[in-house]
Amino acid sequence: MAQKATHRQIDLSSAQVPVVLFGLDDHGKPKAARFIEKHAELATKAAGHLKLQVLQVTCPAVADLAGRLPTGRIHANGRGFVPYVRRDLYAELVAAASTPAQSGQPSTQAAASGSGQVGSQQNGKGTLPKNWGDIGAGHVVIALDEPGEGWYEAIVVESAGEMLTMRWRDYPRERRFSRHRFSVGLLYPHGRPATDPDFGALGSKAPKGKQSAMQPSTKAGTVFPKTWDNIDIDCLVLAKDDGPCRSWWEAIPIAKSDQMFLLRWRDFPQVPNISRARWALGLLYPNGC
């Protein structure tokens, strides 16, 4: 999936990297600016007083965004300090700030509204929506690449009605794409349960000592669970594989024990079954059922 892209060159090797400040004014209008190295420290200090978010320029993807912003003037007042910018560019900043690998540090403010957290949980992956109606700029969802190519985590750049403009979270140089909000999958938004030491990929075997408690099934997955608590045998969910691409695929729980599921890949019956915790699975839109 990764492709080459041309980025504006901003020096990232200096002792004090440049920063971007962005946020919303009292009327909800977006503003943003980049600050040169010698002004970065003062700009960062000013951000807290002005309720602006700080984004460090520490990777090419963020450097590209910074190169498209006006230069802030550290001694200016009001609009001259951090000018107004287009909403689509602001949405890209929100998305970049939601990705720790690109932002380089936690943001000083939540990004979607400028005064509150975008989603319900950061989880080290960006903000995660609780349901399909909540999906907005800065949220991380699971989107289908192409038929037969698997699903991947994507960051919502812009929401217009029912259509979402997104970019691949782990492939920032790929071009943006659009999907209907009901065609994307959701990640568990509430964080890793403290009582679940085996959260995430658990290999292809059921937990030791629990195999006998699992009751197998061979039915087709036709039920789309509304919440993670509703996941049960014969539902259709998304599960991440253990391969190098770490892509997601449709899977069907065929047995369960406590909060663990044994699943088979819907479209790859020849591939060994896998075991996943309830919270490691992704949800597909339930279509009102």
Q: What is the DSSP letter of 273?
A: P
Q: What is the pLDDT of residues 193-212, one digit of tens each?
A: 655 544 433 333 333 333 33
The sheet carrying 53-56 orders its strands as 30-35, 19-24, 53-56
Kindly list the distances between the CA atom of residue 270 and the CA atoms of 180, 215, 246, in Å, as whole numbers in the listed order. Answer: 31, 20, 19
Report the alpha-carbon distance of residue 166 to residue 254 in Å, rounded. 33
Decide if 159 contacts 138 (C-beta within 8 A): no
Q: Residue 112: which H helix or E strand, with range?
A: none
pLDDT truncated to tens, each residue of the chain (289 aa)?
333 233 334 444 443 457 899 988 877 788 999 888 888 888 888 888 788 888 888 777 778 788 889 888 776 555 568 888 888 888 888 888 875 444 333 333 333 333 333 334 443 345 899 999 999 999 999 999 877 778 999 999 999 989 999 999 887 778 899 999 999 999 999 876 655 544 433 333 333 333 334 444 445 556 899 999 999 999 999 999 876 667 899 999 999 998 999 999 998 888 899 999 999 999 999 974 4
User: Strands, E, within the chain: which ranges?
Assistant: 19-24, 30-35, 53-56, 140-144, 151-160, 163-168, 177-180, 237-240, 248-257, 260-265, 274-277
Residues written for the chain:
289
CA–CA separation, 279 and 53 (whole Å)? 30
Say whether pTM exceeds 0.85.
no
